[in-house]
Structure 1
Amino acid sequence: MGDERLAIAIDSASEERPHRVCCRLCGRPLTGADSRRTGLGPTCDAKLHPPGPDIRSRRHEVAQDTLPGIDEDL
């Protein structure tokens, strides 16, 4: 079993063109590694997964009463 030859020559494997991957939403060919991995182009990915709201922009000051026993003069 260890002396058997490979069915495909190694030189012929390098001549093959890479498999063409298309966007699952719009069908355009994908070129980037991340896009090919997810199956979505950057534009379609942004449409399906919009960025979340920035919670830091929703902070606001709250008026509070002074705690009893604490001097305001400090």
Structure 2
Amino acid sequence: MGDEPLAIDIDSAPAETRRVRCRLCGRPLTGPDSRRTGLGPACDAKLHPAGPDIRTRRHEVEQDTLPGV
């Protein structure tokens, strides 16, 4: 026994043995992106919804012709 710390290095354990759970619902996370963010795909979509599609809001506006054209 020396002055070595008793903490276990989490990164040295294989990914299959470490259980990472979703911070919102508590389900086990399996995907690398989900494990990195700590949120499952469904919970991530709830917290970060996709922005509105601006292409659906575009419309043509009638304009008068410019003078001198």
Q: By how many angstroms is 1:60 displaced?
A: 0.6
Tell which structure's C-alpha radius of gyration is larger. 1
**Matching residue of 1:25:** 24
Mapped pair 1:49 → 2:48? yes
The ranges of structure 1 where at least 4 consecutive aligned residues each deviate by more than 6 angstroms after the TM superposition are 13-16
CA RMSD of aligned residues (A): 2.1
Q: By how many angstroms is 1:18 displaced?
A: 3.1
Matched to 2:45, the amino acid is A
- Distance between the aligned counterparts of 2:58 and 2:15, measured in 1? 56
Could you tell me the percent identity over the aligned residues? 76
- Distance between the aligned counterparts of 2:32 and 2:61, measured in 1? 47
| TM-score, normalised relative to structure 2 | 0.74
Q: Is there any run of 5+ residues in structure 1 with no aligned partner, and where?
A: 1-12
Figure out how many residues of one structure are paired with residues of the other and give that number: 58
- Distance between the aligned counterparts of 1:45 and 1:16, measured in 2? 21
Pick closer, same or farther for the CA change 1:66–1:24 going to 2, 3 Å.
same
- Distance between the aligned counterparts of 2:15 and 2:59, measured in 1? 59
Q: Is there any run of 5+ residues in structure 2 with no aligned partner, and where?
A: 1-11
Pick closer, same or farther for the CA change 1:31–1:17 going to 2, 3 Å.
closer
